[in-house]
């Protein structure tokens, strides 16, 4: 097994100070559903949490934490799994749940994980390192399926052209590396002007989301958090692109009773008691000083909500703005 490198600062937790300020004083039992390098977990424990249950589906995350995790004893419980299933292997009530959605910078920096379009490596993209890889999708999916993935998960306007080019290219040889795929995309799209995002950005995002069912994981995780949180418990979620934030915003609007009426002339709908109270009306973004220290925070948005005493409500995936492909996966 390849040795996992120890590093003291591979990943700076995004918007951490905003979270700690919003929930101060920190106390009780917390779930860090996206452990990564452990930045949120350590900060919560050091700030006063009595226990943190740290979840990650990437086994390398816990291997990297071996040199410091034992310092916290029983206060820190490391759990290999997904935050979408937190209510299946943990028991509430919890005082807080924090989620940092998406791929970590450490995973992107490792060429062998296949997340980066700037480094050559196997076309993998699996966060759990098991199951279907990006290469499996690229080499087996039909042209229509590929186009749907690129458009729905990457909002790639050239999805059909790219899908067609992929299908043509794989007739001659399987597409097995990141640079192979980047080359196909770059040869399909117009030349990128200086300062613009890499031509493969949206396609790589789309494939990563498809491989890891990221949007399905997000919605299931939000409902699981609702079930786990105690009255007054805090849900803190950091997102990095519009698809994630749209789903989160609609979930919180629906569960806090702030969802706008569709038609003012329509009969008054019966509304359930709100299950969350929004802690800020708008998403919180990074300050300039944080952006200088951590450029990754530029696209990050934080939304916070506090659990009410209302009972857990029925699950409704339909109104969250999920792409059709994700809606199909969560409905199965």
pLDDT band for position 296 (50/70/90)? confident
Q: Are strands 301-307 and 276-278 parallel, antiparallel or unpaired?
A: antiparallel
Q: Which two tokens stand for residue 33?
A: 């559903």
Look up the pTM and report it.
0.91
Q: What CA–CA distances, in Å, run from 258 to 156, 271, 311, 323?
A: 31, 10, 18, 23
Name which of 206, 200, 187, 208 is nearest 114 in CA terms.
208
The answer to whether 150 touches 206, Cβ cutoff 8 Å, is yes
- φ and ψ at 253, to 5 degrees? -65, -45
- φ and ψ at 30, to 5 degrees? -125, 155
- CA–CA gap between residue 332 and residue 330 (Å, rounded): 6
For the chain, give every residue range classified as CATH 3.40.50.150: 16-105+214-331
- CA–CA gap between residue 168 and residue 165 (Å, rounded): 5
Name which of 242, 112, 252 is nearest 176 in CA terms.
112
pLDDT digits (tens, 9 = 90+) for 179-216: 999 999 999 998 776 667 789 999 999 999 999 999 99
pLDDT band for position 100 (50/70/90)? very high
In the chain, beta strands by DSSP E: 29-32, 51-56, 76-80, 94-100, 229-239, 276-278, 301-307
Pick the CATH number of 112-212 from 1.10.10.60, 1.10.357.10, 2.40.50.140, 1.10.150.170: 1.10.150.170
For the chain, give every residue range classified as CATH 1.10.150.170: 112-212
Q: Which pLDDT score, from 0 to 100, does residue 5 have?
A: 43
How many of the other CB atoms lie within 10 Å of CB of 260? Answer: 6
- Tell me which CATH homologous superfamily contains domain 16-105+214-331: Vaccinia Virus protein VP39 (3.40.50.150)
- The answer to whether residue 268 scores a pLDDT higher than 70 is no
pLDDT digits (tens, 9 = 90+) for 63-96: 999 999 999 999 999 999 999 999 999 998 999 9
């Amino acid at each position: 097994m390849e040795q996992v490198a120890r590093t003291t600062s591979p990943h700076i937790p995004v918007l951490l100070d905003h979270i700690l300020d919003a929930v101060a004083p920190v106390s009780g039992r917390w779930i860090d559903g996206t452990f990564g390098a452990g930045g949120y977990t350590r900060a919560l424990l050091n700030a006063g949490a009595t226990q943190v249950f740290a979840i990650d589906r990437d086994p390398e995350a816990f291997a990297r934490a071996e040199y410091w995790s034992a310092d916290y004893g029983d206060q820190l419980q490391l759990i290999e799994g997904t935050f979408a299933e937190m209510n299946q292997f943990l028991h509430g009530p919890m005082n807080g749940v924090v989620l940092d959605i998406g791929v970590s910078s450490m995973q992107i920096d490792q060429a062998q994980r296949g997340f980066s379009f700037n480094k050559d490596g196997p076309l993998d993209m699996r966060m759990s390192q098991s199951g279907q890889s990006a290469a499996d999708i690229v080499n087996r999916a039909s042209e229509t399926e590929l186009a749907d993935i690129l458009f729905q998960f990457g909002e790639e306007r050239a999805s059909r052209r790219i899908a067609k080019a992929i299908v043509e290219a794989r007739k001659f040889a399987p597409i097995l590396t990141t640079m192979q795929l980047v080359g196909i995309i770059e040869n399909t799209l117009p030349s990128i002007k200086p300062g613009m995002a890499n031509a493969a950005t949206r396609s790589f995002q789309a494939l990563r989301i498809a491989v890891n069912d990221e949007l399905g994981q997000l919605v299931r995780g939000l409902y699981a958090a609702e079930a786990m949180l105690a009255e007054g418990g805090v849900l803190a979620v950091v997102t990095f692109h519009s698809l994630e934030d749209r789903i989160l915003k609609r979930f919180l609007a629906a569960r806090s009773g702030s969802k706008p009426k569709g038609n003012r002339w329509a009969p008054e709908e019966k509304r359930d008691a709100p299950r969350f109270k929004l802690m800020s009306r708008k998403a919180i973004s990074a300050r300039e000083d944080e952006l200088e220290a951590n450029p990754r925070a530029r696209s990050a948005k934080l939304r916070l909500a506090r659990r009410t005493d209302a009972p857990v409500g029925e699950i409704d995936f339909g109104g969250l703005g999920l792409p059709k492909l994700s809606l199909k996966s969560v409905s199965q």
